[in-house]
């Protein structure tokens, strides 16, 4: 399938050509994890002893192939790096044709490498983390399914197959968040994640229907080629519907509430959801659909506002949570908010959104794996107020955490310095009131990020030991520390690797276009962010480093209380959606019982009562039957006579 993707004036024109050579085997990327899931699910208990090895080998194999395909792609000239591989025709009805095809281009290969690379490390970590779980094989089967769905999502060359992967990710996350389904909280969290995602999925599915109704096709090339001809209203509607879908998957306001509860799942799942799969899907969707968003500043502004609000929202929650995993979850919301903000800036921000996403994949996976190690060694304790001083007994984990910490807060020259500061810059560069507001939000968010991360570091790894009795943590086994260390190294270097010299800018330019202006390294906003960083570190040290951390949480200010309750996100959902919904169902039930059923029952009772009386005529006396016949005959004769006259 060949065709041209005509981007907006600022985006480069990119042609998609058929895949050749080693890239013709791109289906292997999907086949490995699918095979892993099938083998482990069908293998049953027989595969218990070796299941985890298969479960790890499959994503590793995908990663190796992804590297090969990536190297092959680097060999092509920049304008020919978008390669399409049509596997088979899925649906062919009259003019409507959907091919299952894989699109290997610079954007999708970035995701493939992130998903399989970071994913593989998380899988290796999970061998140790889940070692004592009798259901480890099933766990790896679902994880493989998760990976396969996410790869389908990012590799598909049309929106319908993307949607299939999108739903697959939702299913796999449901299975994994509720993996310990005997815990009621886990089962509830899984349902919550699924339902919140369904709301977003509805948006994306309507967007796809709208595409089909408007353009008659759902392929990327077809839609992006025709989108210029569509009316402004349709393009904006498409953008907003996709934003709704992206909000669901990426846990952005107003569909954010599932992400914190999703911490009920095993920690490797949290790492996978937050770093490599799932929450990145929304960012992918928006960046992939950049030809649509380029045409609609309104939808772009909505994306940026959602991102800016969520990045503050998540950061505030992260500052107040004592549960280390929930604090990290708030951090993820916040970081994804940065990506949305960047994507909402249009061509000026797409590439920075992806840079932030890739760097985030490393440091967030590293943070989750180290937090998971701590949780593992502390007998599933997650309350940071009962940690303290763990750095001394788990030095490797502490080191890895510190590296990821330096990366996420943006200390130069580590990751976020290269990926987050440009987002703040570009937000200010947008100009106008909206630019100033978005930039300020991003700047404050950077300060908050430093604060909550420093708080987490101080409360967990330094200070007095506030452990419960019977805690004897020691360093996690190598199978758990090494993935974290590798991720920490990646976290330190990813930003510089991607952004120094503009490598990622050049690499992604054929897909996302080139930012009109590229900020330098030490801009006023960047220096402001650094000043805030120092201030936040000092503040956090005064609050949690110098002072003793109380084991029971103090009452705290109203803001703290609100943040602990996730800024009333659940309360709002419950009072605005759940309770009216319950009332509606009760009303429906009442109407059904009294109204509909009442009518039917009354009718039936009336019929029954009448016939009960009428049947008394059948009294068994022949004489009365004869009389009735006689009367009937007389009536008949009378009627005939009447008619004749």
Partner 1 sequence: MIGPGDYVALSVILFVIGGVGVLIRRNAIIIFMCVELMLNAVNLAFVSFARLHGNLDGQVIAFFVMVVAAAEVVVGLAILTSIFRSRRSASVDDANLLKY
* Residues within the interface to partner 1 (CB under 8 A): 615-616, 618-623, 626-627, 630
Look up residue 87 and give its DSSP letter: E
Give the chain's radius of gyration (CA, Å): 30
Minimum distance, C-beta of residue 643 to partner 1, in the bound complex (Å): 22
Least distance (Å) between residue 604 CB and partner 1? 20
- Smallest gap from Cβ 182 to partner 1, in A, equals 60
Which residues lie below 8 Å from residue 267, measured CB to CB, with a gap of 6+? 129, 325, 368, 369, 371, 372, 375, 376
Tokens of 135: 């259901």
In total, the chain counts a number of residues equal to 645
Nearer to partner 1, 95 or 616 (CB): 616
Using an 8 Å Cβ cutoff, are 303 and 243 in contact? Answer: yes
3-state percent helix, strand, coil for the chain, nearest multiple of 5: 75, 5, 20
Query: What's the gap between Cα 354 and its chain centre?
Result: 15
CB of 626 to partner 1, least distance (A): 5
Residue closer to partner 1, measured from CB, 524 or 638: 638
Smallest distance, Å, CB 624 to partner 1? 9
**Minimum distance, C-beta of residue 630 to partner 1, in the bound complex (Å):** 7
CB of 620 to partner 1, least distance (A): 3
Of the candidates 329, 196, 217, the one whose C-alpha atom is nearest the C-alpha of residue 273 is 329
By C-beta, is 628 or 639 nearer to partner 1?
A: 628
Q: How far is the CB of 599 from partner 1 (least distance, A)?
A: 29
Q: Is residue 503 within 8 Å of residue 395, measured between CB atoms?
A: no
Residue closer to partner 1 by CB (options 433, 619) is 619
DSSP for 320-385 reads H--BHHHHHHHHHHHHHHHHHHHHHTGGGTHHHHHHHHHHHHHHHHHHHHHHHHHHHHTTT--BGG
The residue among 472 and 616 lying less far from partner 1, judged by its C-beta, is 616
Q: What is the DSSP string of 471-534?
A: ----PPPHHHHHHHHHHHHHHHHHHHHHHGGGHHHHHHHHHH---SS---SS-HHHHHHHHHHH
Q: In this complex, which beta carbon is closest to partner 1, that of residue 591 or of residue 625? A: 625
CB 508, CB 110: distance < 8 Å: yes
Least separation in angstroms between residue 623's CB and partner 1 is: 6
Cα-Cα-Cα-Cα torsion 575, 310, 180, 386, nearest 10 degrees, comes to -100
Residue 611 beta carbon to partner 1: minimum distance, rounded to whole angstroms: 10
Nearer to partner 1, 590 or 625 (CB): 625
Q: How far apart are the first and last CA of the chain?
A: 87
CA distance 512 to 108: 12
CA 234 distance to own-chain centroid: 25
92 vs 629, beta carbon nearer partner 1: 629
In whole angstroms, what is the distance from residue 344 CA to residue 354 CA?
A: 12
For partner 1, the closer of residues 555 and 622 by Cβ is 622
Minimum gap (Å) between residue 195 Cβ and partner 1 = 57
CB-nearer residue toward partner 1: 616 or 644 = 616
Q: Are 43 and 540 in contact (CB under 8 A)?
A: no
* Minimum distance from residue 638 beta carbon to partner 1 (Å): 16
CB-nearer residue toward partner 1: 568 or 630: 630
Q: Which is nearer to partner 1, 552 or 611 (CB)?
A: 611
> What whole-number distance in Å separates Cα of residue 147 and Cα of residue 595?
50
């Amino acid at each position: 399938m060949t065709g041209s993707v005509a981007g907006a004036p600022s985006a480069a024109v990119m042609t998609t050509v058929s895949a050749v050579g080693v890239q013709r085997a791109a289906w292997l990327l999907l086949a490995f994890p699918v095979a892993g899931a099938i083998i482990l699910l069908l293998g049953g208990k027989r595969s218990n002893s070796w299941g985890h090895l298969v479960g790890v080998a499959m994503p590793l194999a995908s990663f190796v192939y992804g590297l090969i395909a990536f190297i092959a792609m680097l060999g092509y000239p920049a304008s020919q790096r978008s390669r399409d591989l049509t596997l088979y025709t899925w649906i062919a009805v009259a003019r409507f044709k959907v091919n299952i095809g894989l699109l290997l281009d610079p954007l999708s290969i970035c995701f493939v490498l992130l998903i399989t690379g970071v994913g593989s490390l998380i899988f290796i970590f999970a061998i140790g983390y889940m070692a004592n779980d009798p259901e480890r094989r099933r766990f790896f089967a679902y994880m493989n399914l998760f990976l396969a769905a996410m790869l389908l999502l990012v590799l598909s060359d049309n929106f319908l197959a993307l949607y299939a992967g999108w739903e697959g990710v939702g299913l796999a996350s449901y299975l994994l968040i509720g993996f310990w389904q005997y815990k009621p909280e886990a089962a509830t969290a899984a349902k919550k994640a699924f339902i919140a995602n369904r709301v977003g999925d509805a948006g994306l599915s309507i967007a796809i229907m709208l595409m089909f109704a408007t353009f008659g096709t759902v392929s990327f090339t077809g839609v992006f080629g025709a989108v210029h001809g569509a009316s402004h209203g349709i393009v904006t509607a498409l953008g907003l519907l996709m934003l709704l879908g992206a909000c669901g998957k990426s846990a952005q306001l107003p569909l954010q509430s599932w992400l914190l509860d999703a911490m009920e799942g095993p920690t490797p799942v949290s790492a996978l959801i937050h770093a490599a799969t799932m929450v990145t899907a929304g960012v992918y969707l928006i960046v992939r659909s950049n030809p649509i968003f380029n045409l609609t500043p309104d939808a772009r502004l909505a994306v940026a506002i959602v991102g800016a609000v969520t990045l503050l929202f998540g950061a505030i929650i992260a500052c107040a949570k004592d549960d280390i995993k929930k604090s990290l979850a708030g951090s993820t919301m916040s970081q994804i908010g940065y990506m949305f903000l960047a994507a909402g800036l249009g061509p000026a921000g797409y590439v920075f959104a992806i840079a932030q996403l890739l760097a985030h994949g490393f440091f967030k996976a590293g943070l989750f794996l180290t937090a998971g190690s701590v949780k593992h060694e502390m007998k599933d304790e997650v309350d940071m107020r009962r940690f303290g001083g763990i750095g001394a007994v788990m030095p490797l984990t502490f080191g890895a955490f510190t590296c990821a910490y330096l990366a996420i807060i943006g200390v130069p020259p580590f990751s976020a310095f290269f990926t987050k500061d440009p987002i703040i810059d570009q937000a200010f560069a947008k100009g106008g009131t909206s630019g100033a507001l978005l930039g300020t939000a991003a700047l404050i968010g950077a300060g908050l990020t430093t604060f909550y991360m420093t708080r987490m570091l101080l409360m967990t790894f330094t200070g007095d030991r506030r452990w419960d009795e019977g805690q004897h943590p020691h360093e996690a086994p190598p199978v758990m520390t090494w993935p974290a260390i590798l991720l920490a190294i990646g976290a330190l270097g990813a930003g510089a690797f991607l952004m120094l010299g503009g490598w990622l800018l050049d690499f992604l330019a054929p897909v996302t276009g080139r930012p009109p202006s590229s900020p330098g390294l030490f801009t006023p906003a960047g220096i402001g962010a650094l000043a805030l960083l120092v201030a936040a570190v000092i503040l956090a040290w005064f609050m949690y480093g110098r002072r003793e951390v109380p084991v029971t949480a103090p009452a705290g200010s109203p803001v703290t209380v609100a943040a602990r309750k996730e800024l009333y996100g659940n309360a709002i959902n419950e009072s605005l959606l759940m309770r009216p919904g319950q009332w509606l169902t009760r009303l429906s039930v009442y109407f059904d019982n009294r109204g509909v059923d009442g009518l039917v029952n009354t009718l039936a009772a009336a019929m029954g009562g009448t016939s009960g009386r009428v049947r008394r005529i059948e009294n068994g006396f022949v004489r009365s039957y004869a009389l009735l016949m006689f009367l009937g005959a007389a009536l008949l004769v009378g009627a005939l006579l009447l008619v004749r006259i």
